[in-house]
């Protein structure tokens, strides 16, 4: 009887010790979080700033050489066809010819030509700071005036004249733009402009209007680069015009500052890995640890592609069936691990 009791006692102790050892071993097995790869649509974008403005517009061109004596409109003002734009004092033909011919002449040259009688019908010439006057029997030639009217309905944009401006025949004075069409003019840095193409979609937000989202399309890319001043000093930029197609409200005003996100790449069915799931071996090769049914973390070499906001694209090495260790920094290849939670995608 005593022998049987001793045998039972020993067995109980062995079982207890085994249980304790197993518990200790299990406690020391690291926990891992795993996930599976799901195909998704990814995109990359270029973010830049700019301003809202009216689209293009019909340019108003002066028919005469003259001086603007009165201006009736201001930039941003709505006008209708037939509204007065400005009054122009037309310069006499001889004075105009003299102005054009002698635009770079000095005082002695002006005096010689006036006194020679070649321009005897004029008793005054107003040049660059030069006023010459000679007595003459000729009466003063009056300047004729004309009023210029709007040729279209719209909004005054790019006003190039002011009261007192001297303009020449054929010179553009202003533009009259369609009030219902606006665009964004952006400044894109030279390090990003190579990614921009006509036709790319653009997401536009307005700093003055929180929550307002507009959609547009790249319609024009500038031919030349220029120096602009930014937060970090001067930088080289290229102008990009974005036509706004959707989301325009009455609160959106030309002159407002906007932030634009231009989609430069879009890919369907891409597999993304979080950056922290990738490890590197001594040779610099990329790999991940995959969790097997037996609880072992197995090494699989992978090849990565483009980087995106939510991770890096996986080109080869794993599939959607693999369970990948999300943060394998403390886990070795071929080591046991236990799942901290269910697989997540």
CATH classification of the domain holding 331: 2.40.420.20
* More confidently predicted of 305 and 109: 305
Is position 17 within any domain? no
Lowest mean pLDDT, pick from 119-128, 204-213, 285-294, 335-344: 119-128
> Looking at the 3D structure of the chain, how many domains does it have?
3
DSSP 156: E
Same domain flag for 224 and 321:
no
The position carrying tokens 């045998």 is: 7
| Mean pLDDT, rounded, for 212-230 | 89
Is position 68 within any domain? yes
Is position 127 within any domain? yes
For residues 123 and 137, is the Cβ–Cβ distance under 8 A? Answer: no
* pLDDT, mean over the chain: 79
Same domain flag for 249 and 294:
no
Is position 15 within any domain? no
Per-residue pLDDT at 47 exceeds 60: yes
Same domain flag for 69 and 158:
yes
Closest residue by Cα to residue 325 from 295, 290, 300, 282: 290
Is position 23 within any domain? no
Domain boundary among 251, 268, 285: 268
For residues 187 and 237, is the Cβ–Cβ distance under 8 A? Answer: yes
Question: What pTM did the predictor assign?
Answer: 0.56
**What pLDDT was estimated at residue 125?**
43
**Nearest-angstrom CA–CA distance, 200 and 325:** 37
* More confidently predicted of 283 and 22: 283
Q: What is the pLDDT of residues 129-178, one digit of tens each?
A: 434 444 344 444 456 889 999 988 889 888 899 999 999 888 999 989 88
| Mean pLDDT, rounded, for 29-58 | 85
Per-residue pLDDT at 32 exceeds 70: yes
Distances (CA, A) of 178 to 77, 148, 196: 12, 19, 27
Lowest mean pLDDT, pick from 208-217, 259-268, 320-329: 320-329
| Mean pLDDT, rounded, for 280-284 | 86
Q: Which domain holds residue 87?
A: 62-177
**Angle 141-143-146 from CA coordinates, rounded to 5°:** 155
| Mean pLDDT, rounded, for 305-334 | 82
Domain boundary among 177, 194, 224: 177
* More confidently predicted of 18 and 265: 265
| Mean pLDDT, rounded, for 220-237 | 83
Same domain flag for 82 and 171:
yes
Domain boundary among 226, 241, 268: 268
**Nearest-angstrom CA–CA distance, 332 and 329:** 8
| Mean pLDDT, rounded, for 84-99 | 74
Same domain flag for 257 and 116:
no
For residues 28 and 260, is the Cβ–Cβ distance under 8 A? Answer: no
| Mean pLDDT, rounded, for 289-295 | 86
**Angle 50-55-59 from CA coordinates, rounded to 5°:** 125
Is position 4 within any domain? no
């Amino acid at each position: 009887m005593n022998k049987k009791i001793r045998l039972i006692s020993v067995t109980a102790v062995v079982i207890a010790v085994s249980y304790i050892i197993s518990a200790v071993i299990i406690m020391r097995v690291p926990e891992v979080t795993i996930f599976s790869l799901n195909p998704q649509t990814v995109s990359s974008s270029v973010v830049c700033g700019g301003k809202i403005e009216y689209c293009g517009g019909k340019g108003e061109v002066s028919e005469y050489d003259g001086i603007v004596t009165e201006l009736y409109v201001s930039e941003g003002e709505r006008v209708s066809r037939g509204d007065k734009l400005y009054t122009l004092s037309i310069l006499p033909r001889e004075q105009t010819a003299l102005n054009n011919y002698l635009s770079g002449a000095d005082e002695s040259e002006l005096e010689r030509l006036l006194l020679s009688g070649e321009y005897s019908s004029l008793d005054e010439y107003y040049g660059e700071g030069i006023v010459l006057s000679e007595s003459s029997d000729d009466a003063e030639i009056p300047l004729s005036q004309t009023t210029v009217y709007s040729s279209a309905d719209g909004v005054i944009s790019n006003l190039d004249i002011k009261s007192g401006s001297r303009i020449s025949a054929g010179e553009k004075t202003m533009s009259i733009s369609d009030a219902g069409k606006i665009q964004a003019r952006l400044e894109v840095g030279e390090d990003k402009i190579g990614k921009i193409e006509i036709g790319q979609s653009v997401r536009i937000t307005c700093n003055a209007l929180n929550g307002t989202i507009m959609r547009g399309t790249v319609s024009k890319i500038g031919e030349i680069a220029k120096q602009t001043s930014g937060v970090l000093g001067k930088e080289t930029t290229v102008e990009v015009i974005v036509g706004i197609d959707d989301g325009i409200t009455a609160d959106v005003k030309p002159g407002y500052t906007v932030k634009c996100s231009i989609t430069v790449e879009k890919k369907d069915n891409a597999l993304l890995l979080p950056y922290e799931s990738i490890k590197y071996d001594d040779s610099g090769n990329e790999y991940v640890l995959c969790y097997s049914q037996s609880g072992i973390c197995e090494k699989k070499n992978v090849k990565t592609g483009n980087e995106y906001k939510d991770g890096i694209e996986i080109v080869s090495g794993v599939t959607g069936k693999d369970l990948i260790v999300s943060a394998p920094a403390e886990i070795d290849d071929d080591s046991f691990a236990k799942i901290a939670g269910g697989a997540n995608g």
